[in-house]
Amino acid sequence: MSLALSSPVNGGAQTGFTSPTYTIVVDTAPTNAGKQYAVSAIGGTQVGVDASSTPSRPFTITLSRPAVLRTLPAVNPVTGILPNVPRNTYKVIVRKGVTPLANQAASVMNMTTTLDIPAGSDLADTANVRAGLSLLIGALEQISASIGDTIVTGVI
């Protein structure tokens, strides 16, 4: 699998953070169809942020692909139409231990990005698959701080 992160990872803009970076180390992924990294050190100004530690306070990112890549079924010989289009689902999951209330035990926050790609489009329409991904990543980067503000304030 060619999905790989290099260390450090430059973080997206967030209110109150200055030049956030995350030093990552290879971790054990839940399945062999994925790669996982743990944050071993925090860079920039991120007051109150901690690196990955005990199981209750992880700071990890997992990149995964389907265990078995699906392909297109045969076209119906009578109608010339595909009976169904299976999907290959890729995921990026960030797990971070957070404190729900002062002096309470940590709880694990999960943030999942799911990329649900119709089988065959990876070959038949690569430009549009890449364009969709480009928009997703660019939009998330552009509104990174706004998403953080919305999560913290509840105001969209």
Distance CA 49, CA 54 (A): 14
CATH annotation of 9-72+83-119: 3.30.380
Q: pLDDT tens digits, residue range 24-69? A: 999 999 999 999 999 999 999 999 999 999 788 999 999 999 999 9
Q: pLDDT tens digits, residue range 78-99? A: 999 999 999 999 999 999 999 9
The model carries a pTM of 0.88
Going from N- to C-terminal start, the domains of the chain cover 9-72+83-119
The backbone region for 60, taken as left when phi is positive above 0, alpha when psi lies in -120 to 50, beta otherwise, is: beta
